Amino acid sequence: MSEEGLAVIGVTACNQQLGLHPFNIVGEKYLLSIADATNAWPLVIPALGHCPAETILPRLDGILFTGSPSNIEPHHYDGPTSDVDTLHDPKRDATNLPLLRAAIDAGVPVLAICRGFQEMNVVYGGTLHQKLHEVDGLIEHREDRTASVDIQYGLSHEIKIEPGGLLHEAWGRNLAEVNSVHTQGVDRLGVGLRPEAYALDGLIEAFSVKNAKNFALGVQFHPEWKVLDNAFYRAIFSAFNTACQVRASKRTR
């Protein structure tokens, strides 16, 4: 596809206070993963607390729901009150939770990463563990915050990929190694979600939407990190890109 005819993939932002002013920001690694690993251009979707989905979705060929340092406010899944020092982003919650469901219902390809993965679970009625390190039987999924970023986002553990799903179709193998930089994770899986991969401790690391009209995959790990250097991560973005290109070709006809 020529540059003039590039597909357009929305990338969700976070709403954060920087100094005296609120900013809408997104990690560059998410933007680069679209620019470098797909035939598309990223378009930032601001977290303003609302989103005219009926206006923007017809103009998009896919959406990447990003990770974030913030966590979903637990009242969205009837969870216990967070610790007082927990970073939340209520405007992102108010923007992304309805947008995610609207995108999937409209057949827009969706790839949801980390917080985005957790948003997808909550949208479908699932719940979250807020502190995985306090759950008996689970391995350590948090990053070492004293380590360099390359070590933090380096490969951490294996996942077992379920046969017959989007992830297995994209990768073609039963095992892969992933990074692990999350504190929260799936407790109860949302209704209509299909487990796609598990960590060896049984924690769900990926799922898809069973009856989605188009590609709808959530992953707890971070395939956007140096995506071109990792064949498994590239395979995920390639599958997402294929779905986005099909939508783009139909949308522009």
> In the Cβ-directed half-sphere of 145, how many Cα atoms lie within 13 Å?
4
The region that residue 31 occupies, defined by phi over 0 for left and psi between -120 and 50 for alpha, beta otherwise, is: alpha
Q: 37: which residues sit within 8 A by CB, 6+ positions away?
A: 227, 228, 234, 237, 238, 241
Q: 67: which residues sit within 8 A by CB, 6+ positions away?
A: 27, 30, 113, 114, 115, 116, 222
Separate counts of helices (H) and strands (E) for the chain:
7, 13
Rounded CA-CA distance 88/69 in Å is: 8
Task: State yes or no: is 75 an active-site residue.
Answer: no
pLDDT digits (tens, 9 = 90+) for 139-162: 999 999 999 999 999 999 999 999
Domain spans in the chain, listed from the N-terminal domain onward: 8-250
- pLDDT of res. 3: 57
Catalytic residue, candidates 114, 196, 205, 244: 114
- pLDDT of res. 87: 96
- pLDDT of res. 1: 42
pLDDT digits (tens, 9 = 90+) for 213-245: 999 999 999 999 999 999 999 999 999 999 999
Task: State yes or no: is 158 an active-site residue.
Answer: no
For the domain made up of 8-250, the CATH class stated in words is alpha beta
- Neighbouring CB atoms inside 10 A of 129's CB total 19
Task: State yes or no: is 244 an active-site residue.
Answer: no
Rounded CA-CA distance 24/47 in Å is: 7
Q: Binning pLDDT at 50, 70 and 90, where does residue 135 land? A: very high
Catalytic residue, candidates 129, 141, 182, 222: 222
Cα–Cα distances (Å) from 99 to 25, 76, 82, 190, in that order, read: 18, 15, 24, 17
- pLDDT of res. 2: 44
